[in-house]
Amino acid sequence: MISAIVLISADVHRIPEVAQAIAEIDGICEVYSVTGDVDLIAVAKVARHEEFADVIADRLNKVEGVIDSRTHIAFRTYSKDDLDAAFALGLDE
């Protein structure tokens, strides 16, 4: 799977509705309401890069209330579970 983090600016009067609509899009795993420069952060996961066009450009960006988005495609994902599994295999030697 290929992951992308999408930073979303939304109409402040519609943030909960925008977040819910985005969360219902196939390919979107999670949506966070956050503080800072953006209103929402979504995590998208697809099998092929080309699928980001459908998930983000054709669907997420067309949700009513989305003002702007910036997408960051992940090169590699690190998680505690991945590191624990590596150490369990003896890769820490």
Distances in whole angstroms, Cα of residue 30 to Cα of each of 6, 41, 44, 45: 10, 8, 7, 10
Query: Once rounded to an integer, what is the mean pLDDT over residues 38-67?
Result: 97
Query: pLDDT class for 61, splitting at 50, 70, 90?
Result: very high
pLDDT at 87: 59
Q: Would you say residue 83 has pLDDT above 70? A: no
Half-sphere exposure of 71 (CA within 13 A, CB side): 16
If DSSP codes are grouped into helix, strand and coil, which group holds residue 92?
Answer: coil
Query: Once rounded to an integer, what is the mean pLDDT over residues 58-74?
Result: 97
Give the global pTM: 0.83
pLDDT at 85: 60
